[in-house]
Amino acid sequence: VAGTTGSGKSVGVNAMILSMLFKATPEDVRLIMIDPKMLELSIYEGIPHLLAPVVTDMKLAANALTWCVNEMEKRYRLMSHAGVRNLAGFNQKIAELGARNQKLFNPFSLTPDNPEPLEKLPFIVVIVDEFADLMMTAGKKIEELIARLAQKARAAGIHLILATQRPSVDVITGLIKANIPPRIAFQVSSKVDSRTILDQMGAENLLGKGDML
């Protein structure tokens, strides 16, 4: 999601977050929020959907994304064990077994003699408010983590919402763009910015205040 100040970008991101909060319980969806500006997402501090407090320290942001990659790999192993292709299939299988009073046990339990039964897993949505700040502080590492999540995490139920005021090529790199096809452009300041986010011009002519492509 890209757009200059006053374009409606933050309102758009908040609308996405609120629609998830109204439609899903914390058992269904958990959120990780990364907010370099310390202003936009801090209003959500304390909601039950958060997996961790809102991250404002950019050094901790890399840790949060690393945790997401590890969680993704763990979920892939569990889905392989359950013989399903995605998180929805995994949760459906757990529910069907529960209805028959059966259980699927964790094959990777730390106590293999007494493994704990597997439970339904929530979807995880990672929301980054000012992605440019994150790239400036820990660029290469963040780029690799985001690319890995964008490539593989959808089947594991982990999704990304990245927002930035500056859609330049050093922020939205080719690697990130190649792996995140769905994009929203609010009003941007130049044709170059429009081409960076959308691969075509037009977003510079939008009206602002929510007008988007």
Q: Tokens at residue 153, please?
A: 């995490």
Contact criterion met (CB below 8 Å) for 14 and 27: no
The whole-number pLDDT of residue 209 equals: 82
Known binder of ligand: residue 5? Answer: yes
Known binder of ligand: residue 8? Answer: yes
The whole-number pLDDT of residue 63 equals: 92
The whole-number pLDDT of residue 26 equals: 95
Inform me whether the pLDDT recorded for 208 exceeds 80: no
Known binder of ligand: residue 190? Answer: no
Q: Name the nearest CA neighbour of 17 among 61, 49, 63, 53.
A: 49
- What tens digit of pLDDT does each residue of 50-91 get? 999 999 988 889 999 999 999 999 999 999 999 999 999 999
Contact criterion met (CB below 8 Å) for 2 and 167: yes
Known binder of ligand: residue 10? Answer: yes
Known binder of ligand: residue 210? Answer: no
Question: Dihedral angle at the C-alpha atoms of 153, 63, 27, 159, nearest 10 degrees?
Answer: -30
Query: How far apart (Å, rounded) are the C-alpha atoms in residues 159 and 152?
Result: 10
Residue 213: band (very low, low, confident or very high) from pLDDT cuts 50, 70, 90:
confident
- What tens digit of pLDDT does each residue of 6-31 get? 888 888 999 999 999 999 999 999 99
How many helices and strands (H and E) does the chain possess? 6, 3
Inform me whether the pLDDT recorded for 122 exceeds 90: yes
- What pairing do the DSSP bridges indicate for beta strands 123-128 and 29-34? parallel
Instruction: Write out 119-180 in H/E/C secondary structure.
Output: CCCCEEEEEECCHHHHHHHHHHHHHHHHHHHHHHCCCCCEEEEECECCCCCCCCCHHHHHHC
- What tens digit of pLDDT does each residue of 126-185 get? 999 888 888 888 778 888 899 999 999 999 999 999 998 888 888 888 888 888 888 888
Known binder of ligand: residue 6? Answer: yes
Give kind and range of the element (H or E) at residue 80: helix 58-82
Domains and CATH numbers, the chain: 9-83+122-205 (3.40.50.300)
